[in-house]
Amino acid sequence: MEDLTVARRYAAVAALYLGGFALELTEAPETRPAGIGARGERSVRLWGVRFLIKRVYDEADPGDGFRVLVDRLWPRGVTKERAALDLWLKEVAPSTELRTWFHAQPDRFEEFAERYRAELESNPAVDQLRDIGRKHPIVTLLYSVKDAAHNHAAILRSYLM
């Protein structure tokens, strides 16, 4: 394993992480269904990549692959070293107007999700995230909110399918 390229190392880690399934580093659409990872993370696949979501407050792990913070605001109390980011892509986060509207009315998650998907339709940062996914077999989308099910990272992950 010493002479493997970085991409092949990611693929080897991903193969171990996925229970022996070897990822092909191509742009061909993956036919295996999305599911739950070995450690319980929910994920989706795009072109052989596995998108995970995780709170930025949780410990970084080598199995996270390429780590992208998808919040518009920097998370409180987290240093850059502790976040262990590869990229802060705040442009893919919901607009300030949408974010403040949702925080004022958290019971309207479905409407928030619809509005956020509409924003993503014309957001060039989505293409940047897809390009990252083509280069890395595992991409972890990091968010800061406490609710693991009702947050923009979960919407973004499903949108990338």
pLDDT of residue 48: 61
- Rounded (10°) CA dihedral 82, 160, 42, 52: -20
Residue environment code for 66-90, b if the CB has 16+ CB neighbours within 10 A, otherwise e: bbbbbbbeebeebeeeebebbebbe
pLDDT of residue 104: 74
Report how far residue 17's alpha carbon sits from residue 87's, in angstroms, rounded to the nearest whole number.
22
Q: Quick: pLDDT tens for 5-20.
A: 444 445 444 443 443 3
What amino acid occupies position 10? Y
pLDDT band at residue 148 using 50, 70 and 90 as cut-offs? confident
